[in-house]
Chain A
Amino acid sequence: MDQLFYGLNALSFPQIIMFIIGGVLIYLAIVKEYEPMLLLPIGFGAILANIPFSSAIGDEGFLTLLFKSGILTELFPILIFIAVGAMIDFTPLLQQPFMLFFGAAAQFGIFFTMAMAALFGFDLKEAASIGIIGAADGPTSIYVATKFARHLLAPISVAAYSYMSLVPIIQPPVIRLLTTPAERRIKMKPDFDVKISKTVLILFPIVITLIAGILAPISVALVGSLMFGNLIRVSGVMDRLSKAAQNELANLVTLLLGITIGSTMTAEQFLNPSTLLIIVMGLVAFIFDTAGGVIFAKILNLFLKNKVNPMVGAAGISAFPMSARVIQKMAQEEDPSNFVLMQAIGANVAGQIGSIIAGGLILTLVK
């Protein structure tokens, strides 16, 4: 009889808490539709990992095998980047390259949060891994955390993906706080008469990889895989592979990535004060990313003849396309005739490049 109940007898209170946390993540994914493709597998992975004597983890567990082969080798984030690259259309950015600067400014939250994490007692590599939540880019966060602070991978991943889905709730109050209604009503001159040739579309991923790689060789894996995916897309001769990268590859790796990350959420690793601190600092990172983009746009407006709607600066974070949609919605709330979606999408795409460059720079600068 004891053998039937040995699992029940071994069940601890922290494990029950982890079941509840897993359940909350599944609830958020299904009912609130917050990043369901990631939060659901993460939530279920957390449940699997916390069942006493779980055969899913441990030396022969399939989740441990996936963790060793997909996360520790950094293979999953790299494969996700190939898929993301195949999904991105850089045309809005190439038509208005000025938006690149918002993609740079809106990475400020990464470094601000890194400094805050250091103040709270985390060491430099841990602080860098926490700060990178502000990249608003799951694979970059996982990639950096795997290199610098594997023991913090679970809370960092959960924070990164949770806040990405909460962008529509996080950004508007920050933007309203930093802008006046008159600024939010600024109409931007459309700049979409520039036609982008196929040659430029093809050269762009190759040239960017070369430059980023030469400036920060450690970023080659990140930038190179993203740009490889994009090259497949724009080449025009690999449609089948482009679609496979956008669909089959993206879906399969996302599925495995989520449940594998969830499996690292064991009670002893996850239930500690630093997890709570990381979750709070992830929010700080998103807030200061948004503030960085908006304030930079306001500073630019001091010098520009054709003013920029400062809300577009906030779209410089990498959460694509949610952030651009949020900015357009806010612009239309102030003035129903205002249309800044394409500018915001340009800034949002720039944010994707900016976040990867930020990840590469952090890997280069943090020793």
Chain B
Amino acid sequence: MNVFLETLKIMVQGMAGIFLALSLFYIIIKFMVRIFPEDE
């Protein structure tokens, strides 16, 4: 049961971590596309 509870904790931390990392990537992509437009 302890292992199961640990996996639930990792589930919350893992999904939060993935969303956090990909949100950061989202901001960076938006930023890069804006400061380095195609017609530079």
* A interface residue numbers (CB < 8 A to B): 93-94, 97-98, 100-101, 103-104, 107-108, 110-112, 114-115, 117-119, 122-124, 127-128, 131, 194-197, 199-200, 203-204, 207-208, 211-212, 215-216, 350, 353-354, 357-358, 361-362, 365-366
Q: Which of A100, A124, A196, A207 contacts B38 (CB 8 A)?
A: A196
Q: Which of A112, A123, A216, A350 contacts B11 (CB 8 A)?
A: A112
A350-B22 contact, Cβ under 8 Å, with A108-B15, A362-B14: yes
- Asked if B29 and A358 make an inter-chain contact with CB atoms under 8 angstroms apart, the answer reads no
- Asked if A357 and B28 make an inter-chain contact with CB atoms under 8 angstroms apart, the answer reads no
A103–B29 CA distance with the chains assembled, in angstroms: 15
Q: How far is the CB of B26 from chain A (nearest CB, A)?
A: 5
* B interface residue numbers (CB < 8 A to A): 3-4, 6-8, 10-11, 13-15, 17-26, 28-30, 32-33, 36-40
- Asked if A94 and B22 make an inter-chain contact with CB atoms under 8 angstroms apart, the answer reads no
- Asked if A94 and B38 make an inter-chain contact with CB atoms under 8 angstroms apart, the answer reads no
A–B complex contacts, Cβ < 8 Å, 27 sampled: A100-B25, A100-B26, A101-B22, A101-B23, A103-B22, A108-B15, A111-B11, A115-B4, A115-B7, A115-B11, A118-B7, A124-B6, A128-B10, A196-B38, A199-B32, A200-B36, A203-B32, A204-B29, A204-B32, A211-B25, A211-B28, A215-B20, A357-B18, A357-B22, A358-B18, A362-B10, A365-B14
- Asked if A118 and B18 make an inter-chain contact with CB atoms under 8 angstroms apart, the answer reads no
A213–B8 CA distance with the chains assembled, in angstroms: 25
Q: How far is the CB of A51 from chain B (nearest CB, A)?
A: 38
Q: Which residues on the B side are within 8 Å of A127 (C-beta)?
A: 3, 7
